[in-house]
Amino acid sequence: MSRQAISSGAKAEDMAIARRAARERREELERRDLAVRNAEQSVASATEEISRLNAELDNERRARDLAERDALNANEKLRDARTEIARLRDELQTVRADAEDTKIRLARLEGERQAEETRRASEKRMADARMAAENLKQALSRFGAVRDSGRGIAIVLPESFWASPRSANLVAASGAKLDQVGALLANNPDYQISIEAYTDNRGDENTLQQLTQDRARVLSERLAATGVEVTRIQATGMGAANPVAPNTTAASRAKNRRTEITLSLPGSNEPRL
């Protein structure tokens, strides 16, 4: 019975050891299973995270590719826009230059046209003035000797206009002629009129000067009475100055006893009288 008790005790101890060992193995296995399950869950979570991150990475890559493509397109469009802007600027500059050249040409043509019109008008005025001057000279030639001088048109009245060589009185016939001369001059208002009376050198110088002054005054008043404006007339007695012939013979002295009426246009190269 002791041996049996000992044997039963030993078996019970062995069984207890075995049970404990089995329990420890089960616990170990459970820990391993738990660790495996945890590892599997971690792997699954990691795999899911990796998939999510890969998806996000793919999205980011696609977004980056799209952004790069859009950036390239935008850069190309920007380059094209800059090129087009530069072309348009050059074209605009060319158009402006052409427009400026056109303006200059038009201005030059307009200036040439105006100059041509001015030249033609000037030529016409000159031709009209020459014709009018010729007509005036022809009309004046009925009353005295007419000639062109450096000052304009000059008419020399004959000595027969005066009552005597030393008189400032007009004869009746000369008065009528002077009225006609005055009418001609009144109808040609552009001319300034200079009356210069001369005589020979026989006699007192002061007396001769007064004689020519009186004759010039008489003619001036007679012309003014016919309608010639007084402001157009300048009357001067020249005395015995500027003889046209020597005072040695009666014929020469008669030539020096003359009265000249000179018509000149203001603004010409001729001196204004």
The torsion angle over the Cα atoms of residues 35, 40, 45 and 50, rounded to 10 degrees, is 130
Distance CA 3, CA 5 (A): 5
The single-letter code of the amino acid at 138 is Q
Q: pLDDT of 229-261, one tens digit each?
A: 999 999 999 999 889 999 999 999 999 999 999
CA 153 to chain centre: 43
Look at phi and psi of residue 242 and say left if phi exceeds 0, alpha if psi is from -120 to 50, else beta. Answer: left
Give the pLDDT mean for 3-7.
84
CA proximity to 227, closest of 197, 187, 192, 255: 187
CA 235 to chain centre: 49
Q: Are 198 and 260 in contact (CB under 8 A)?
A: yes
- 23 has pLDDT over 70: yes
The answer to whether the predicted template modeling score (pTM) of the entire model surpasses 0.85 is no
Q: pLDDT of 107-165, one tens digit each?
A: 888 988 888 888 888 888 888 878 888 999 999 999 989 998 888 999 999 888 999 99
What residue has token string 């005066």?
162
> What is the pLDDT at residue 271?
39
> What is the pLDDT at residue 268?
59
- SS3 of residue 153 by DSSP: strand
User: How many residues can be counted in the chain?
Assistant: 273
> What is the pLDDT at residue 232?
94
Q: Are 198 and 160 in contact (CB under 8 A)?
A: no
233's tokens: 């007339």
> What is the pLDDT at residue 42?
80
Distance linking the first and last C-alpha atoms of the chain: 188
Q: pLDDT of 164-213, one tens digit each?
A: 999 999 998 898 899 999 999 999 999 999 999 999 999 999 999 999 99
> What is the pLDDT at residue 38?
83
Distance CA 256, CA 8 (A): 198
- SS3 of residue 77 by DSSP: helix
Q: Are 244 and 200 in contact (CB under 8 A)?
A: no
- SS3 of residue 162 by DSSP: strand
Q: Which residues of 41-69 are buried (b: 16+ CB within 10 A; e: fewer)?
A: eeeeeeeeeeeeeeeeeeeeeeeeeeeee
- 265 has pLDDT over 50: yes
